[in-house]
């Protein structure tokens, strides 16, 4: 979380924000292209201790991912990569459909958007594929509220194509692309709502950071055990469920309220930003974060360095940018006489704004 406050102080300067935001777009394009290249070249283009160490995985684990035809670019984990690509997707889409933007900006948005979407499919992340359709809803809502009319259509398409999308993702991992890939019979993500209810009854206030809740499957049922946490990564394969098991109801509510307040602050500030490019960047970043928070339901990507560190850094950057570029909410009061004013003209309220504009 320290990166959040670091980014707020670093990017409150407009020049710094402009510089890094443009650099971020270049990074987004490179990350996407590098991930796509891994699809075709595999292990040959991995960079030791740079490509895979960033995700906390050793090279044998990375080989497993590549054998399953799941790309990971420079993030060390396909799901972490999918999370970050959603952020890039939101920014690129906002730069594409935003008002008053140049043709070059829109072409750059098209390039980054197409690269990002293709790379998300190559990650094999089912949650990432689903959120590919969620992020545009937020961006289009900012562009025009008439976009809400497409929500029933998206829901219908999701109901029709989601089962086949899941089967396609599974076949790509178990079938021709990954002969050594086996489905994990202990994957209980479909039963996370039931697990959350059981956890609420077992540890409503969490078990603390020093311990963790271990799930032991017994036939078609399960039970929980509280054990010491050897490493911070121990826990459920869901950030929200893991947070709930550690900090309970107070922790989830506190963190959720924090995200809600920061989101609301950036969204409102962005509406008062006159620079169209910056406004699109801020809104697109928020849209990408909504996709990340949904992925956290079924993946604990936050606990990996490429997930948590990037999240806090980018959130702080958006908060700083919205504060730096937002116009004042209220007009500036004319309190003092303008320089070079006529002596003895009277109180300051007798001056008009034109007097200030004419003053030397």
Helix (H) or strand (E) holding 211: strand 211-218
Cβ contacts of 228 within 8 Å, gap of 6 or more: 210, 211, 212
Burial 25-46 (b: 16+ CB within 10 A, else e): beebbebbebbbebbeeeeeeb
Residue 183 has pLDDT above 50, yes or no: no
What number is the average pLDDT over the span 292-299? 88
Domain limits of the chain? 17-325
Residue 223 — pLDDT band, cuts 50, 70, 90?
A: low
| pLDDT tens-digit readout, 54-105 | 444 555 555 555 555 688 888 878 888 899 999 999 999 999 998 889 999 9
Residue 42 has pLDDT above 60, yes or no: yes
Give, rounded to a whole angstrom, the gap between the first and last alpha carbons of the chain: 48
Secondary structure of 214-244 in HEC code, one letter for each residue: EEEEECCEEEEEEEECCCCCCCCCCHHHHHH
* Backbone torsions φ then ψ of 314, nearest 5 degrees: -70, -35
Cβ contacts of 351 within 8 Å, gap of 6 or more: 334, 337, 338, 341, 345
Residue 126 has pLDDT above 90, yes or no: no
Residue 168 has pLDDT above 70, yes or no: no
Q: Is the Cα torsion angle 150, 284, 27, 108 positive or negative in sign?
A: positive
- pLDDT given for residue 279 in this prediction: 94
Residue 328 has pLDDT above 80, yes or no: no
Neighbours of 279 (CB within 10 A): 25
- pLDDT given for residue 25 in this prediction: 95
- pLDDT given for residue 225 in this prediction: 66
Q: Is the pLDDT higher at 305 or at 84?
A: 84
Q: Is the pLDDT higher at 335 or at 85?
A: 85
Residue 135 has pLDDT above 70, yes or no: yes
Please, what is the angle between helix 14-41 and helix 78-97, to 10°?
130
SS3 call for 297: coil
Residue 161 — pLDDT band, cuts 50, 70, 90?
A: low
Residue 254 has pLDDT above 70, yes or no: yes
| pLDDT tens-digit readout, 257-290 | 999 999 999 999 999 999 999 999 999 999 999 9
Residue 218 — pLDDT band, cuts 50, 70, 90?
A: low
213 close to 225: Cβ distance less than 8 angstroms: yes
Helix/strand/coil percent split, the chain, to 5: 65, 5, 30
Maximum mean pLDDT: which of 92-96, 145-149, 330-334: 92-96
SS3 call for 213: strand
Neighbours of 151 (CB within 10 A): 12
**What percentage of the chain carries pLDDT values higher than 70?**
64
SS3 call for 210: coil
Bridge partners, residue 226, by sequence = 213
Q: What is the pTM of this model?
A: 0.77
DSSP 250-267: HHHHHHHHHHHHHHHHHH
Which residue pairs from 194-201 have beta carbons closer than 8 angstroms and sit at least 24 positions apart in sequence? 195/222, 195/236, 195/241, 196/241, 196/244, 198/222, 198/224, 199/224, 199/241, 199/244, 199/245, 200/244, 200/249
Average pLDDT, the chain: 76
């Amino acid at each position: 979380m320290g990166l959040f406050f670091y980014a707020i102080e670093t990017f409150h300067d407009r020049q710094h924000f402009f510089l890094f935001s443009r650099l971020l777009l270049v990074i987004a394009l490179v990350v996407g292209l590098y991930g796509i290249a891994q699809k075709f070249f595999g292990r040959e283009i991995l960079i030791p201790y740079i490509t895979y160490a960033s995700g906390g995985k050793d090279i044998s684990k990375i080989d497993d991912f590549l054998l399953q035809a799941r790309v990971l670019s420079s993030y060390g984990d396909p799901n972490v990569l999918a999370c970050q690509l959603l952020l890039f997707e939101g920014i690129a889409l906002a730069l594409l459909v935003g008002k008053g933007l140049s043709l070059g900006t829109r072409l750059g948005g098209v390039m980054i958007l197409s690269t990002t979407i293709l790379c998300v499919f190559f990650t094999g992340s089912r949650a990432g594929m689903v959120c590919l359709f969620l992020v545009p809803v937020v961006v289009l809502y900012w562009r025009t509220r008439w976009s809400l009319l497409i929500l029933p259509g998206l829901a219908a398409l999701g109901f029709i194509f989601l089962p086949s999308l899941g089967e396609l993702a599974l076949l790509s991992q178990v079938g021709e692309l990954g002969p050594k890939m086996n489905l994990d019979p202990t994957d209980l993500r479909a039963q996370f709502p039931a697990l959350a209810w059981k956890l609420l009854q077992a540890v409503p206030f969490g078990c603390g950071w020093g311990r963790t809740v271990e799930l032991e499957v017994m036939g078609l049922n399960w039970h929980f055990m509280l054990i010491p946490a050897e490493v911070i990564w121990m826990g459920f394969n869901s950030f929200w469920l893991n947070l709930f098991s550690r900090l309970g109801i107070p922790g989830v509510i506190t963190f959720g309220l924090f995200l809600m307040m920061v989101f609301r602050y950036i969204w409102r500030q962005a509406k008062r930003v006159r620079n169209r490019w910056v406004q699109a960047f801020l809104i697109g970043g928020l849209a990408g974060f909504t996709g990340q928070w949904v992925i956290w339901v079924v993946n604990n990507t936050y606990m990996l360095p490429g997930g948590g560190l990037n999240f806090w850094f980018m959130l702080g950057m958006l908060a700083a940018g919205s504060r730096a570029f937002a116009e004042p909410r209220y007009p500036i009061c004319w309190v003092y006489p303008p320089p070079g004013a006529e002596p003895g003209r009277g109180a300051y309220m007798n001056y008009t704004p034109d007097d200030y504009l004419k003053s030397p």
